[in-house]
Structure 1
């Protein structure tokens, strides 16, 4: 494959790379930068691409690895080394003290709202919360799996509406 053909094939793939880049970065500008960096790496390493293999998968792998490398580099920049004799590595973003009273109030409100749920919705919701799978709940309550899913969905919706102050 010539450099021109390779460049054309990569150019055709850039539109399909954007959703994946957005999912990784959660930011449009960073996604565009990631795509640009991926295309640059792919073009500069085109001799490593085996013709006849999946170009899209190769590009997505480059993108994922580039994102991971950039993320690790960013984390390293935010980490500083304590030069005392203990030689601890301290992450600078973990110096936040939180008030646990807020969590206690929130938990009390959540428990209160769950107790207000109709038993028809509360029982499948609590079973799902405790780790039961949908099919296990359906068997235990002797109801169809679709009904289980619907009741859990309704319970979540009611709780979300009742607890929107914490959103």
Structure 2
């Protein structure tokens, strides 16, 4: 397919691409930008199009992938668009204020609960919490690996019971 034929075919298909762009973006201006970006990518990658295949499907795929990439980029920036008359771009992470009092209480309660555990449950649990592997704990405490796993499981279960006030609802 020559460059002129390719250009004419894309020109014919662009009218059917616009409604798809509108469905994806829900905004006429963004749909126009997406359509323009799709056509540009199609022209730049004309050599990758296999003659005899479905050009319309190829263009739809380019458009969908472009939309997804742009959406992921926007999410990564963690920015949303304020739709008020001023149209400000607001970085949502800058507006978060945390009160550390609640987490301070939680840490104190967690430490107290761990201290209440029997030594044979607390020690393997703390070792695992600090990053030791099961086999390392078993070697250090000279007990079977199954016993280590069981003790850590029981410690977690007891801690969950002692800290049930912090359960997410």
TM-score, scaled to structure 2: 0.50
Is the deviation greater in 71-80 or in 141-150?
71-80
CA distance in 1, matches of 2:96, 2:120: 41
* Partner Cα separation in structure 2 for residue 113 and residue 67 of structure 1: 46
Q: What is the aligned length?
A: 102
SS at match of 2:120: helix
Is 1:44 the counterpart of 2:57? The answer is: yes
3-state SS of the aligned residue for 1:123? helix
Measured in 2, the distance between the counterparts of 1:157 and 1:131 equals: 19
User: Is 1:130 aligned with 2:117?
Assistant: no
Work out which of the two has the higher radius of gyration on C-alpha atoms and give 1 or 2: 2
| 1:30-61: CA deviation from partner (whole Å, max 9, x where unpaired) | xxxxxxxxxxxxx935xxxxxxxxxxxxxxxx
Change (3 A) 1:68 1:133: farther
State the Cα deviation string for residues 69-102 of structure 1 (Å, max 9, x = none): 633333447258xxxxxxxx97323421111111
Superposed CA RMSD = 3.3
| Correspondence for 1:142 | 142
Structure 2: where are the runs of 5+ without partners?
1-55, 59-63, 82-88
The answer to whether the 8 Å contact 2:78/2:91 transfers is no
CA distance, structure 1, for counterparts of residue 121 and residue 67 of structure 2: 45
Give the equivalent residue in structure 2 for 1:10.
none
Who is 2:72 aligned against? 71
